[in-house]
Amino acid sequence: MTNSQSDNGDLTGSPAAGPGLSDIVVIGVNHRTAPLELREKLAFSTHETENALNLLQESSHINEAMIISTCNRVEVLMVTSDSALAIETVSSFMAATKVISRTQLQQSMYVHAGSRAIAHMFRVASSLDSMMIGEPQILGQVKDAFKTAVTKKSTGLILNRLLHKTFSVAKRVRHETGIGGHAVSISYAAVELAKKIFNSLNDKTVLLVGAGEMAELAVEHLMRNTSTSGRLLVANRTFSVGVELADRYRGQAIHLEEIPEKLKTVDIIISSTGSPNYVIAKHHVKPVMRFRRNRPLFFIDIAVPRDIDPAINRISNAYVYDIDDLQGVISENIETRNMESIKAERIVDESVIKFTQWYESLDVVPTIIALRNKLTAISEMELSKTLNSLQHLSDEDRQALLKMTESLVNKILHDPTLFLKNPGSHRNKSVYLDFTRKLFNV
């Protein structure tokens, strides 16, 4: 493509198929193509996104645009009349604003166009392209990105329709497959198990023993599932660290020696100390069960070597899961997710075909042909009805009438055809094509 002299250069005098159809292009980097430090550099804040959208809108060959920026991906989705030029614009813009060399950017950048771009969007929003397949946040992030673009008025007919379709595909994938259904991280698995023991985590007290990173993650998930009535106790060898952590969740720090006493009142124990011996032994737990009136006690042991005596699992109403047990739950769940993702890919494929059909209908030539076919069919039918009741006409008369209806159709179609081929300097021809199709129901 070299026609950079005019933004609608491809619209004038190109009656053949193809050029009238602007292209959907997605260009970006994700966790597979770019290392974290590059993604961090490229990431757009909401404010930056808004500015970038303003700039992209000024460029004449980009009709519609939106920017998705998460910790795992930075992508620009656009509808363009000249994809080569648009890609060039976006990548030079990125290189300039983010101060990255063009070669580095090009190495990690991918470009999808047409139905591959559509499929890409569907897969991203359905979390099939995520680092952890089925993770639920991405759909919300795409929705936010779309909202930002809509408020900036940088989207139009095609992206609006594409994104709405994208959301419904993502919803279908979530509903009809189990890709989001099972926990695939230690902390999620622990929470899921806790929910199989306790009816609700709302009023439960959590005791955290030791303050490792993984334990904190598990606590965070648990506390998110408990309301304000849930409580957190932190027991740590260094008391001050415990106090600090407890403060973060409005909990209370205790000394390690207090643990056996506290077992009477807590419900869930998460342990991750560096201790070489068991921190909680069977003889600590056995006597408290009577005091607890057999309310269940759930131990989550994520320390290596283990902190909780596995023999505690044999006490009734006490349950112990160590890191291997949780890992077992997770690997099984990951397998299920991968199997379910095959179903999800099928849903995506189906939807891409449907969307591509609509999208291609926005091309000028098929629209004009469809319009002509409709008018010809009407005139032929009406003509044959009329001729049936006028049996006395000669063959010449009949030919003359046929000629007349044909030229009627041609005359009627003349102006709309011209207009659709070149609707003036308006950039968004698709709107008129879509409208025409709706107006004539073709």
- Contact residues for other proteins, defined by CB under 8 A: 193, 195-199, 290, 292-296, 313, 316-317, 319, 321, 325, 328-329, 332
- Longest CA span, the chain: 114
CB of 316 to other proteins, least distance (A): 5
CB of 320 to other proteins, least distance (A): 9
CA distance 9 to 7: 6
CB of 332 to other proteins, least distance (A): 6
CA distance 192 to 108: 37
Nearer to other proteins, 44 or 319 (CB): 319
Nearer to other proteins, 89 or 226 (CB): 226
Number of H helices, E strands in the chain: 16, 10
CB of 294 to other proteins, least distance (A): 5
For 417, residues 6+ apart whose C-beta sits below 8 A from its C-beta are 368
Residue 117: CB atoms within 10 A of its CB come to 23
Nearer to other proteins, 332 or 382 (CB): 332
Nearer to other proteins, 288 or 348 (CB): 288
CB of 311 to other proteins, least distance (A): 12
SS3 299: strand
CA distance 53 to 327: 44
Closest-CA residue to 47 (of 156, 124, 142, 152): 152
The position carrying tokens 């005139």 is 379
Residue 312: CB atoms within 10 A of its CB come to 22
For every residue of 155-217, DSSP letters joined together read --HHHHHHHHHHHHHHHHHHHHS-TTSS--SHHHHHHHHHHHHSS-STT-EEEEES--HHHHH
CA distance 29 to 38: 9
CB of 167 to other proteins, least distance (A): 23
Task: Find the distance separating the first CA and the last CA of the chain, reported in whole Å.
Answer: 32
Nearer to other proteins, 141 or 313 (CB): 313
CA distance 57 to 128: 30
Structural element, H or E, at residue 306: none
Q: Are strands 110-113 and 23-30 parallel, antiparallel or unpaired?
A: antiparallel
| Dihedral of the alpha carbons of 144, 147, 149, 151, in degrees to the nearest 10 | -140
Instruction: Give burial (CB, 10 Å; 0-12/13-18/19+) of 322.
Output: buried
CB of 325 to other proteins, least distance (A): 5
CB of 330 to other proteins, least distance (A): 12
Nearer to other proteins, 90 or 201 (CB): 201
Nearer to other proteins, 193 or 246 (CB): 193
For residue 292, indicate whether it is catalytic.
Answer: no
Nearer to other proteins, 198 or 355 (CB): 198
Which residue out of 1, 17, 36, 71 is catalytically annotated? Answer: 71
Cite the active site residues.
71
